[in-house]
Amino acid sequence: DGGITQSPKYLFRKEGQNVTLSCEQNLNHDAMYWYRQDPGQGLRLIYYSQIVNDFQKGDIAEGYSVSREKKESFPLTVTSAQKNPTAFYLCASSTQGTETQYFGPGTRLLVL
Amino acid sequence: GENVEQHPSTLSVQEGDSAVIKCTYSDSASNYFPWYKQELGKRPQLIIDIRSNVGEKKDQRIAVTLNKTAKHFSLHITETQPEDSAVYFCAASNAPSEFYFGTGTSLTVIP
């Protein structure tokens, strides 16, 4: 899992602002995922992508957008439509055909 | 969809004792069950996993058991050490893109 990086480690968002969280992997994994983690809750899936230029909504996609222009990169944008964005965001990746997911170090998003 | 419940939410044990965390799932099609350990502010790390064609799997002090009939699986940690203190998550999956996580168990090992 050391081949997955996320930046920044902390991110502050002002009201009405869109912010983008970066996720990069050099593991040659086909699939990439974004999860949101809130205190006392499990990880919830926001978006996932199994192949370049294709992605699917997860359980809580509203207020978020993603792109997958390169195999190595899967950025997540938290839009102003997401009214409660404060959370710990985790990116993960996996090899096609396997379920094992490896996580990045996470980005903590805070609202000013 | 799948629903994964995890108990207990917090667990304290004396160093050297065993710890057991239990998860139940609702979808009989789920066939892959990983366990993750997450230390404070860090990424979840896979510690052990089991597939539905196996009833038990062991890796040193960690073991996982699966009861497909009852739809539950458990994590067993023996001879606990202070460095085992963390939050543990279970998950159930029937496809690579469909992971359902439990709400986590905060384990504290008291020296």
Q: Do β-strands A107-111 and A10-13 pair in parallel, antiparallel, or remain unpaired?
A: parallel
* pLDDT reported for residue A95: 86
Determine whether the interchain pair A43/B99 forms a contact, defined as Cβ–Cβ distance below 8 Å.
Answer: yes
Given a cut of 80, whether residue A96 has pLDDT beyond it is: no
* pLDDT surpasses 90 at B99: no
Is residue A21 within 8 Å of A75, Cβ to Cβ? Answer: yes
pLDDT value for A2: 55
B96 and A97 within 8 Å at the Cβ level: the answer is yes
Eight-state DSSP code of residue A75: -
CB B75 within 8 A of CB B64: yes
User: Which chain A residues are Cβ-neighbours of B91 within 8 angstroms?
Assistant: 42
Q: Which chain A residues have any C-beta within 8 angstroms of a chain B C-beta?
A: 1, 31, 33, 40-45, 48, 50, 56, 90, 94, 96-106, 108
Quote the pLDDT of residue B65. 97
Place of tokens 């809130």: A38
pLDDT, position B96: 72
Q: How confident is the model at residue A27 (pLDDT cuts 50, 70, 90)?
A: very high
Search chain B and give the residue with CA nearest A89: B43
Query: Exposed, middle or buried by CB within 10 Å (0-12, 13-18, 19+), for A112?
Result: exposed
Q: Which of B49, B93, B104 sits opposite A42 (nearest CB)?
A: B104
Q: Using an 8 Å CB-CB cutoff, list chain B residues near A97.
A: 96
Q: What is the DSSP string of B67-95?
A: ETTTTEEEEEE-S--GGG-EEEEEEEEEE
Question: Taking Cα atoms as reference points, which of A23, A6, A17, A33 lies closest to residue A78?
Answer: A17
Residue A38: which residues within 8 A CB-CB, separation 6 or more? A44, A87, A88
Q: Which of A39-43, A58-62, B61-65 has the highest mean pLDDT?
A: B61-65
Q: Which residues of B touch A94 (CB under 8 A)?
A: 96
The candidate with the shortest Cα–Cα distance to B23, out of B45, B49, B41, B44, is B49
Q: CA-to-CA distance for A90 and A81, rounded, in angstroms? A: 20
- Chains A, B: CB contacts within 8 A come to 61
Of A70-79, A95-104, B41-50, the least confident: A95-104
Report residue A97 CA to chain centroid gap: 20
Encode pLDDT of B36-85 as tens digits: 999 988 899 999 999 988 899 999 999 999 999 999 999 999 999 999 99
Nearest residue in A to B97, CA atom:
A48
Closest by alpha carbon to B73, among B102, B106, B39?
B102
